[in-house]
Amino acid sequence: MGTAAVIVMDKSTDIIAAIRRIAYFYKHESCGQCTPCREGCGWMWRVLQRMERGEAEKREIDLLLGRDDARSKATPSARSATAAAWPVQGLIRHFRGEIEARIDRYQAAHEAGGGVAAENGRTATCCE
């Protein structure tokens, strides 16, 4: 994928799921030499999984953004840690409202006592 990729998606794309898949790529491809990449990419992917389902806390949005910034400055590897931060930063910068709305829907459904199915009627797997 490199660090200068362009991905074209239409409006039907679940943008949170798409960025989660990109985060999984970086987690999987991490060489593991530096701690920010080895630990940070996996942590970022797990937070995005929860965000995709709506299970995350809103405070995690800023936490994730702050960790991305720290990780991108603390590693010599442009391949994983720095590049992995950019899609997540873009997601938060441009689609924060969508993330917050998904969290709100999840919390409202669970406060009412009911469970929540995936928005598209199926459950997501780790890398779809």
- Over residues 15-29, the pLDDT tens digits come to 999 999 999 988 888
Look up the domain containing 89 and give its range: 15-111
pLDDT at position 124: 43
10 against 81, higher pLDDT:
10
Could you tell me which of 6, 14, 78, 68 has the C-alpha nearest to residue 41? 68
What's the pLDDT tens digit per position in 55-78?
A: 999 999 998 887 545 544 555 555
Examine residue 9 and state whether it is found in any structural domain, yes or no. Answer: no
pLDDT at position 97: 96
Examine residue 1 and state whether it is found in any structural domain, yes or no. Answer: no
Examine residue 28 and state whether it is found in any structural domain, yes or no. Answer: yes
Q: Is 115 exposed, middle or buried (0-12, 13-18, 19+ CB in 10 A)?
A: exposed
**Mean residue pLDDT across the chain:** 80
Q: Tell me, yes or no, if the pTM score tops 0.85.
A: no
CB atoms within 10 A of CB 18: 15
Examine residue 31 and state whether it is found in any structural domain, yes or no. Answer: yes
Task: Give the CATH number, domain containing residue 24.
Answer: 1.20.1440.230
Tokens 């800023």 — which residue? Answer: 62
Examine residue 127 and state whether it is found in any structural domain, yes or no. Answer: no
pLDDT at position 115: 54
Examine residue 8 and state whether it is found in any structural domain, yes or no. Answer: no
pLDDT at position 6: 80
Examine residue 126 and state whether it is found in any structural domain, yes or no. Answer: no
pLDDT at position 54: 96
Examine residue 107 and state whether it is found in any structural domain, yes or no. Answer: yes
Structural domain total, the chain? 1
Q: How far is CA 40 from the centre of its chain?
A: 12
